[in-house]
Structure 1
Amino acid sequence: MRRRIYWLLPDLASARRTMDDLLLARISERHIHFVAREDADMTGLHQANVLQTSDVIRAAEMGLVVGGSAGSLIGVIAAIYFPIIGDAPQWGLAAVLGMLGAGFGAWSASMIGISVPSQRLKRFTPMIEQGQILLMVDVSSSRVQEIEARLQALHPEAHLEGVESNVLAFP
């Protein structure tokens, strides 16, 4: 399980030095994410992608649940009242419509969620708009204190903003 450490850095020069220090600490570039204003020059930094900056994952999960539930309910009604063959309920139809509803719900909700800013990053928006850089570092639970201590020692200008414990290992 990984944990995400949030840091606010005052400017791009500090962010670039921090990136180099994290690479020297053997943190893979794919686990280092920076968020800055739209007009910031992010050359040399690993910019956060849409999975980190939007609510696409949460929206897809909600769409999966709602779409699957609605599809299953419609499927049960169709299986009981509108059987395809004979008079016996067609329970396979309920399962198929449930899966189709879940897939459609996840897809359609993720299309909406991709345009919604992440609720987890909402608290950082004013600081980012002022020109600060948000750093998100995903590290294993055993390395959290080591990385925090390293960044505090090497970058006194940076501010630790907290640790989040629910980070997927693959994005």
Structure 2
Amino acid sequence: MRRIYFLVPDITTTKKIVEDLLLQKIEEKHIHVIAKRGTPLEDLPEANLLQKTDFIPAVEQGVALGGATGLLAGLVAVALPPASTVIAGGVLLATTLAGAGVGSWFGGMVGMSVGNRQIKEFEDAIEAGKLLVLVDVPTDRVAEIEDRVKQHLPQVEVEQTEPRVPSFP
């Protein structure tokens, strides 16, 4: 799956595009609309917290950093006497898992408070009243979906294509 981003000037056009995407068998859960705070989206699929924040990348970074820190702490604990081989494996595993858990928790907390880095460049346009549409599509359908969007907005430029989209949001 790839995520494509494009700006739409108004709600009416956005509704037409979303309807067309639904007819093209893009599920509603793969379409996300971000608008200026207070803009009524009516029945458009609004982006949730996972799309609006850096939660997932922050959790991934937290797991990596926390796991590495836990592993390092476990190695230090094993290096100190007295350490037996059986206990050493358990200590390494426990500290690595604990570090990964704490790191993911802290990373998630930080990620929830930070806006999505991918949509930062669109903030001015969103504040000016445009709507940002994010669509998750199979890689082989990106060009097809771009063409469908251009039928509604010939001047639209697909601003960005994200190379990898997490499968669970």
Taking structure 2 as the reference length, the TM-score comes to 0.91
- Which residue is 1:116 aligned to? 114
* More displaced 10-residue stretch of structure 1: 125-134 or 89-98: 89-98
Q: How do 1:5-84 residues align onto structure 2 when only pairs under 5 Å count?
A: 5-81=4-80, 83=82
Between the aligned partners of 1:158 and 1:73, the Cα distance in structure 2 is 50
* Percent of aligned positions that are identical: 39
Q: How do 1:116-155 residues align onto structure 2 when only pairs under 5 Å count?
A: 116-155=114-153
Is the aligned partner of 1:96 residue 2:100?
A: no
More helix by share: 2
Deviation at 1:157, TM superposition (A): 5.8
**Maintained 8 Å contact 1:9/1:159:** no
Between the aligned partners of 2:84 and 2:23, the Cα distance in structure 1 is 67
* More displaced 10-residue stretch of structure 1: 151-160 or 129-138: 151-160
Deviation at 1:82, TM superposition (A): 5.6
Between the aligned partners of 1:131 and 1:148, the Cα distance in structure 2 is 22
- Which residue is 2:105 aligned to? 107
Q: The residue matched to 2:118 in structure 1 has which SS?
A: coil
More strand by share: 1
Between the aligned partners of 2:26 and 2:78, the Cα distance in structure 1 is 53
RMSD, matched Cα: 1.6
Between the aligned partners of 2:156 and 2:14, the Cα distance in structure 1 is 9
| Structure 1 residue ranges without an equivalent (≥5) | none
Deviation at 1:158, TM superposition (A): 3.9
How many aligned positions are there? Answer: 167
1:3-36 C-alpha deviation (Å, 9 max, x unpaired): 1111100011211121111111111001101011
